């Protein structure tokens, strides 16, 4: 028995739309991106997904669909602004020029205000996005995108479930860490990038399941090791590449336990010059390593890069634990969804920057524990809402106005049918509604979307914004004059302002950071934390999915690789790589 439609006008119009589609012999369709003019193919399985999701086909290419969403979030640029609630100076992801009301996140999550007070009645006389934009300017926004479960982690952004963290970004369920991007289930990590289930790490990069590791890259299941690249299940190794199941290796040379320990005792990583010399030697060693065609790991029937522990993922980039996912980036434990950016535990959703544990969301951003919502922003534990901002524990609301269930569906049917008729329904918010200037969004923080002039042509706004966060006061010491050895550093360094004159930025060291450097014999970093994180993002490379045709160096087989043919790395196909690792 067919279920009675709750939106009969919309469904009738959408069915008519699909009936008129002209498909090729495969059941797909070539389209032209209305922004870039690029041709892109909508696969037959894509069309089936859109029918099931009850949305029209996209008018933007996969690349431009991702650009839209990442232009709506700023993770790494922080500013000092005045709170619209307390009138105090606060740290904010929004610049001082923002037109939005910004509250301290503690107040935003509290009971001192009611987002329903800003409700607006939908009217046919204005476009939906104009009305939503007006609601955005009225409803307060949290100064930082962190959730109410985080503890003593106020100086973090775009992160949830943190404890005792400082200047951590894009992270989930981590603690006692600082100056890192994308930590998941990790603790006591400093200067990390893309670490999972790791503990006590420093300057580690795109790795998982590490313990007591320093300067480790693209490795997993390693313990008590330094300067590793592409190693698995290694312990007490120093300066090694492409190793598997090894112990007591020094620059890939096997040693006895006694000989290895003597080598380590002879080193002083706490001396900056000695450490820099070892970094240089490690860089040269990595040039001799061999590389797998992509960064995928246990990716079954999948196409993309950095797909891990996943199945049936297509045109995806950095997916962990995904299944039946397409055209998505940076998602974890996501299923049966298309065009998702970020988030954990998303299911049957489309065209959204997801938060945590959502089901059936469309065209939404920064929502958590929600289901069956569309065009919503900053909502928590809501269901059946349309065009709402900042709601918590609500249902059957449109533009923050509460409706009876019957009235809600009648109005949603009317709104969606009108939007579909005007060509507005079916894709993420237009560029003009981004709460951030494009030049401070995540889009420009990585290669691939840092073409600001192109974005401006597509309708994204930019602003000339002055930094305000780094205007700290106190006794200043130039970072060039810092002690060369950590053993020479006195406690009073915590009272001084460190000036990175090379990058014209000021900061202070924190107590937990100094204790970490002393405990593990590491010199004080001279570069400002924001510069160090920017270098890591640059090292990660482009976040646009691009695979290149090149031949395996060993067997000559053609393959699709993350590495372009003009790059110098020695790249093997999957079979040759697995046969070669030791």
Please name the helix (run of DSSP H) or strand (run of DSSP E) that holds residue 313, with its range, or none.
strand 303-320
Phi, psi of 20, deg, nearest 5: -95, -5
How far is residue 290's CA from residue 294's CA, in Å, rounded to a whole number? 12
Q: Does any domain span residue 513?
A: yes
Residue 49 within a domain: yes
Q: Are residues 244 and 270 in the same domain?
A: yes
Residues 188 and 246 in one domain: yes
Do 231 and 262 belong together in one domain? yes
Same-domain status, 317 and 284? no
Shared-domain flag, residues 184 and 287: yes
Cα–Cα distance, 446 to 539 (Å, whole number): 9
Counting the structural domains of the chain, the total is 5
Could you give the CA distance from residue 268 to residue 359 in angstroms, rounded to a whole number?
Answer: 52
The one-digit pLDDT tens for each residue of the chain (582 residues) are 357 899 999 999 999 999 999 999 999 999 999 999 999 999 999 999 999 999 999 999 999 999 999 999 999 999 999 999 999 999 999 999 999 999 999 999 999 999 999 999 999 999 999 999 999 999 999 999 988 888 999 899 999 999 999 999 999 999 999 999 999 999 999 999 999 999 999 999 999 999 999 999 999 999 999 999 999 999 999 999 999 999 999 999 999 999 999 999 999 999 999 999 999 999 999 999 999 999 999 999 999 999 999 999 999 999 999 999 999 999 999 999 999 999 999 999 999 998 899 999 999 999 999 999 999 999 999 999 999 999 999 999 999 999 999 999 999 999 999 999 999 999 999 999 999 999 999 999 888 899 999 999 999 999 998 766 556 677 999 999 999 999 999 999 999 999 999 999 999 999 999 999 999 999 999 999 999 999 999 999 888 888 999 999 999 999 999 999 999 999 999 999 999 987
The CB density around residue 170, as the number of other CB atoms within 10 Å, is 22
For residue 261, being part of any structural domain is answered with: yes
If one counts every other C-beta atom within 10 angstroms of the C-beta of residue 6, the result is 15
Q: List the domain range (segments joined by +) for residue 51.
A: 8-60
Residue 97 lies in a domain: no
Q: Are 441 and 70 in contact (CB under 8 A)?
A: yes
Same domain for 238 and 189: yes
In a domain, 160, yes or no: no
Is there a single domain that holds both residue 315 and residue 221?
no
On whether both 284 and 311 belong to a single domain, the answer is no
Q: Which tokens in the block code for residue 396?
A: 């059957």
Q: Which helix (H) or strand (E) holds 373?
A: strand 371-374
Residues 284 and 185 reside in one and the same domain = yes
Is 107 in a helix, a strand, or coil?
helix
Task: Report the alpha-carbon distance of residue 308 to residue 218 in Å, rounded.
Answer: 12
562 within domain boundaries? yes
pTM, two decimals, is 0.93
Report d(CA 299, CA 304) in Å as an integer.
Answer: 9
For residue 45, tell me if it sits in a domain.
yes
The two three-digit tokens of residue 574, written as one number: 């999957």
102 in Cβ contact with 78 (< 8 Å): no
Rounded to whole angstroms, the Cα distance separating 322 from 303 reads: 12
For strands 558-561 and 548-551, give the pairing.
Answer: antiparallel
d(CA 450, CA 542): 9
């Amino acid at each position: 028995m067919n279920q009675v439609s709750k939106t009969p006008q919309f469904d009738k119009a959408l069915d008519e739309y699909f009936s008129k589609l002209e498909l090729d012999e495969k059941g797909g369709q070539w389209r032209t991106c209305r922004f870039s003019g690029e041709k892109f193919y909508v696969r037959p399985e894509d069309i089936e997904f859109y029918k099931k999701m009850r949305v029209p086909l996209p008018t933007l290419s996969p690349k431009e669909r991702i650009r839209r969403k990442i232009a709506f979030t700023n993770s790494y640029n922080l500013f000092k602004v005045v709170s619209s609630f307390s009138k105090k100076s606060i740290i904010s992801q929004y610049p001082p020029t923002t037109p939005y009301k910004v509250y301290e996140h503690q107040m935003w999550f509290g009971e001192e205000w009611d987002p329903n007070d800003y409700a607006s009645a939908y009217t046919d006389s204005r476009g939906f996005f104009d009305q939503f934009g007006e609601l955005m300017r009225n409803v307060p926004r949290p100064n930082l995108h962190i959730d109410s479960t985080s503890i003593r982690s106020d100086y973090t952004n775009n992160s949830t479930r943190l404890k005792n963290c400082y200047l951590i970004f894009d992270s989930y369920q981590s603690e006692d860490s600082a100056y890192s991007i994308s930590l998941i289930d990790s603790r006591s990590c400093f200067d990390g990038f893309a670490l999972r289930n790791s503990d006590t790490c420093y300057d580690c990069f795109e790795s998982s399941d590490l313990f007591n590791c320093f300067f480790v890259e693209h490795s997993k299941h390693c313990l008590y090791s330094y300067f590793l690249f592409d190693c698995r299940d290694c312990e007490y190794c120093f300066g090694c590449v492409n190793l598997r199941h090894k112990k007591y290796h020094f620059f890939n040379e096997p040693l006895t336990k006694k000989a290895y320990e003597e080598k380590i005792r002879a080193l002083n990583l706490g001396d900056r010059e000695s450490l820099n010399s070892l970094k240089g030697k490690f860089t040269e060693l990595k040039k001799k390593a061999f590389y797998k065609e992509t960064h995928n790991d246990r990716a079954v029937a999948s196409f993309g890069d950095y797909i891990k522990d996943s199945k049936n993922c297509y045109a995806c980039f950095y997916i962990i634990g995904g299944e039946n996912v397409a055209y998505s980036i940076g998602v974890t434990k996501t299923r049966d969804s298309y065009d998702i950016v970020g988030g954990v535990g998303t299911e049957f959703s489309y065209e959204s920057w997801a938060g945590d544990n959502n089901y059936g969301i469309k065209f939404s951003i920064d929502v958590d524990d929600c289901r069956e919502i569309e065009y919503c922003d900053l909502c928590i534990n809501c269901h059946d809402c349309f065009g709402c901002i900042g709601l918590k524990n609500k249902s059957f609301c449109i533009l923050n106005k509460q409706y009876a269930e019957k009235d809600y569906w009648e109005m949603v049917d009317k709104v969606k049918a009108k939007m579909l008729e005007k060509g507005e329904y079916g894709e993420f918010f237009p560029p003009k509604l981004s709460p951030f200037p494009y030049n401070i969004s995540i889009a420009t923080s990585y290669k691939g979307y840092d073409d600001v002039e192109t974005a401006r042509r597509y309708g994204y706004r930019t602003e000339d914004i002055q930094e305000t966060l780094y205007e700290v006061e106190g006794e200043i010491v130039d970072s060039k004059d810092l002690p060369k050895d950590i053993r020479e550093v006195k406690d009073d360094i915590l009272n001084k302002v460190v000036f990175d004159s090379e990058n014209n930025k000021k900061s202070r060291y924190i107590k937990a950071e100094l204790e970490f450097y002393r405990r593990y014999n590491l010199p004080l970093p001279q570069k400002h934390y924001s510069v160090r994180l920017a270098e890591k993002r640059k090292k990660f490379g482009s976040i646009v999915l691009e695979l290149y045709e090149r031949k395996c160096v060993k067997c000559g087989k053609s393959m699709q690789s993350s590495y372009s043919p003009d790059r110098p790395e020695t790249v093997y196909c999957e079979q040759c790589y697995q046969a070669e690792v030791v």
